[in-house]
Structure formats: structure tokens, C-alpha cells
């Protein structure tokens, strides 16, 4: 993760995350590339599946979505996905 913090405490960030799991009964890994911001205690951002990053049963996975969280709390997230 790369984060740029401003003097007022807010920040912008970008990251690549490796996900190991199961979708629709298909097991494998994939990468999510995300970007977002922090304002006060609220984190918001968007992400997408890095094309070609799916392995195993998740080969060909594509998708995008968003996330929100209060720092130190559970996040809510959406990932709309499909297979090529």
C-alpha cells in the first residue's frame, strides 16, 4: 500500500491486494487493485480485479467494486464479478 497523508490528517492511497478464496464454488487466487481516501475516520475507495491475475478455478475472473469503513470497524464492500 502506498499512502499520501495531508497536513489535515486526510489521506489518499493505492494498493494491490492478493485474495485467496472461493467464489461460486471456484477456488483460487486473484489480485485487487484499489484506490481510495481517508477523511476523518471514514475510508472509501474503489477496486478492480487485475486482468489475468486469477489462478486455479478463478482464472479468467474480472470485476470491480467499492468499499467503505469506519477506522477500527468492519467494512462494507461490493465486488461485481464475471468470468471471461
CB–CB of 52/63 below 8 Å?
no
Structural domain harbouring 55: 2-83
> Mean per-residue pLDDT for 1-27?
96
Q: Cα–Cα distances in Å, from 43 out to 22, 33, 40, 60, 84?
A: 26, 16, 8, 29, 31
Provide the number of structural domains found in the chain: 1
> Mean per-residue pLDDT for 63-83?
94
Please state the pTM of the whole predicted model.
Answer: 0.89
CATH number at residue 61: 2.40.350.10
Q: Does the pLDDT value for residue 28 go beyond 90? A: yes
Q: 17: pLDDT confidence band, cut at 50, 70 and 90?
A: very high
Q: 72: pLDDT confidence band, cut at 50, 70 and 90?
A: confident
Amino acid at each position: 500500500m502506498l499512502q499520501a497523508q495531508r497536513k489535515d490528517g486526510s489521506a489518499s492511497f493505492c494498493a494491490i491486494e492478493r485474495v485467496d478464496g472461493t467464489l461460486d464454488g471456484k477456488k483460487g487466487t486473484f489480485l485487487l487493485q484499489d484506490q481510495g481516501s481517508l477523511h476523518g475516520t471514514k475510508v472509501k475507495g474503489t477496486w478492480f480485479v487485475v486482468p489475468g491475475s486469477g489462478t486455479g478455478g478463478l482464472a479468467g475472473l474480472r470485476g470491480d467494486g467499492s468499499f467503505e469503513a469506519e477506522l477500527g470497524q468492519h467494512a462494507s464492500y461490493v465486488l461485481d464479478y464475471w468470468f471471461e
